[in-house]
Amino acid sequence: MERFDNSPETALTWHREGLGAALATVVQTWGSAPRRVGSQLAIGGDGRIEGSVSGGCVEGAVIVEALEAIEDGTHRLLEFGVSDDDAFAVGLACGGTIRILIEPVGSVIPVDMLQDLVAARENRVALAYEVTLDSGTRRLVRDGYPERMRMDRSGFEEDGTTFVAVHNPPLRLIVVGAVHIAQALVPMARIAGYDPVVIDPREAFASQARFPGETVLHDWPDEAVAKLGLDPRTALVLLTHDPKLDDPALEAALRADVFYIGALGSTRTHAKRVERMVAAGFGEDRIARIHGPIGLDIGAAGPAEIAVSILAQMTAVLRGRPS
């Protein structure tokens, strides 16, 4: 998964500063293009950039076109072939072709629309940015394109002229229990594009030495998840085996719309967990959202393999596959 970038925020800042700005977006690819559809590059009126649309292969040409687009106030749709040599230089086996849409801020992308998009991103609200190239109409769509949003898949609609850019909040993983499995899962999840948080009031477990460079909270789990907030781009993983720690966070997740809930423990342990959730007033449909025992059944042995099974199950649930 691509890392969450700040190209829209950067372009808005540069525009507000009077520098002038444009957004370049990968709208279509063929072959092994270096960047996926939806990747963006912010270009300032003085040639400064942030982000990437090709891993460095064609950025120079995009900057030149963007500066001209800022000057004349029109959008541009460009097509580039990425040679095998250029592709190899950015870590690919072979080249491909990419189409890039350049949109100046203000003259093409309305400033208030970009402000609304940036505000939605800041507040972890999922939006789609829709542009119809034939007519030049642009709008932000909330609660639309469910399949695209679920799959994080920007692209053209069947009409070939309506492009939809998915702006989902970053994926987030909240882990309750700073145990050995968490030590393996957190770096794996970060590689997969998640922003992980580890929660455990036991400071001997939840330490920077055990989780170097990660966000570690020593609050009680119910207090921590209340601070963090729970939303449809959040996965909650419970690893403590201790109902005093797991259950308050579990109840908060069952009341929210997190996309994944997983809890460590045997089938017998999970049965007791279900009984506690029934006693807490949760219905069968809500309780069925809990994946317990946690992880796909891959015959995992040891913390690292269990972490693989958890991350695989999270991915399957996120993408709507049987898990």
Per-residue pLDDT, averaged over 34-42, amounts to 89
Give residue-wise pLDDT tens across range 126-177.
999 999 999 999 999 999 999 999 999 999 999 999 999 999 999 999 999 9
Residue among 32, 36, 25, 154 nearest 81 (CA)? 32
pLDDT at res. 83: 64
Task: Mark whether 269 and 247 lie in a shared domain.
Answer: yes
Q: Of the candidates 104, 139, 167, which is a domain's last residue? A: 167
Closest C-alpha to 230, from 257, 260, 198: 257
Single-letter code of the amino acid located at 309: S
| Residue 185 three-state SS | helix
- Range with lowest mean pLDDT among 41-50, 87-96, 152-161, 274-283: 87-96
What gap in Å lies between CA 76 and CA 258, rounded to an integer? 39
Q: What is the mean pLDDT of residues 179-204?
A: 95
Residues 159 and 290 occupy one common structural domain: no
Between these two residues, 2 and 102, which has the higher pLDDT value? Answer: 102
Q: Do residue 158 and residue 207 come from a single domain?
A: no
Nearest-CA neighbor of 172 among 248, 250, 229, 238? 229
Alpha helices per DSSP H over 92-230: 111-122, 146-151, 180-191, 221-228
Question: For residue 179, what is the domain's CATH number?
Answer: 3.40.50.720
How many Å apart are CA 45 and CA 39, to the nearest integer? 20
Distance CA 96, CA 84 (A): 8
Helix or strand holding residue 154 (H, E) = none
Q: What is the pLDDT of residue 176?
A: 97
pLDDT at 93 over 80: no
What integer best gives the mean pLDDT of the chain? 91
For residue 1, is it within any domain? no
What angle is formed at CA 7 by the lines to CA 224 and CA 156, rounded to 5 degrees?
A: 105
Q: Model confidence at 82, in pLDDT bands (50, 70, 90)?
A: low
Is the pLDDT reported for residue 88 higher than 70? Answer: no
User: Are 229 and 150 in the same domain?
Assistant: no
Is pLDDT at 91 greater than 50 in this prediction? no
pLDDT of the residue at 95: 60
Using alpha carbons only, give the angle 90, 91, 93 rounded to the nearest 5 degrees. 115
- How many percent of the chain have pLDDT more than 70? 93
User: Would you say residue 260 lies in a domain?
Assistant: yes
Determine the average pLDDT of the residues in 180-194.
96
- For the cut 90, the answer to whether the pLDDT of residue 207 exceeds it is yes
The pLDDT assigned to 323 comes to 74
Partner residues linked to 75 by β-bridges: none
My answer on whether 21 and 133 are in the same domain is yes
Mean local confidence (pLDDT), 64-87: 85
- What does the pLDDT read at residue 97? 82
Task: Give one DSSP letter per residue of 263-303, joined into a string.
Answer: E-S-HHHHHHHHHHHHHTT--HHHHTTEESS-S--S---SH
Q: What is the pLDDT of residue 1?
A: 37
The reply to whether 126 and 186 lie within a common domain is no
Element (H, E) at 66: helix 59-72
What is the per-residue pLDDT for 81? 78
Contact 56, 35 (CB under 8 A): no
Residue 85: its pLDDT value, please? 59
pLDDT at 114: 98
Mean pLDDT calculated for residue range 207-218:
94
- Look at the block and give the residue holding tokens 């609660």: 143
How far apart CA 312 and CA 1 sit, in angstroms, is 14
Instruction: Please tell me whether residues 63 and 92 are part of one structural domain.
Output: yes
Q: Tell me the percentage of the chain whose pLDDT exceeds 90.
A: 83
Q: How confident is the model at residue 54 (pLDDT cuts 50, 70, 90)?
A: confident
279 lies in a domain? yes
Question: Are 83 and 186 in the same domain?
Answer: no
Task: Inform me whether the pLDDT recorded for 11 exceeds 90.
Answer: yes
Instruction: Yes or no: say if 55 and 32 are a contact pair by the CB < 8 Å rule.
Output: no
Indicate whether 154 and 243 sit together in one domain: no
Name the residue range of residue 280's domain. Answer: 171-318
253-288 residue pLDDT tens: 999 989 999 999 999 999 999 999 999 999 999 999
Measuring CA to CA, how many Å separate 60 from each of 7, 124, 166? 17, 32, 25
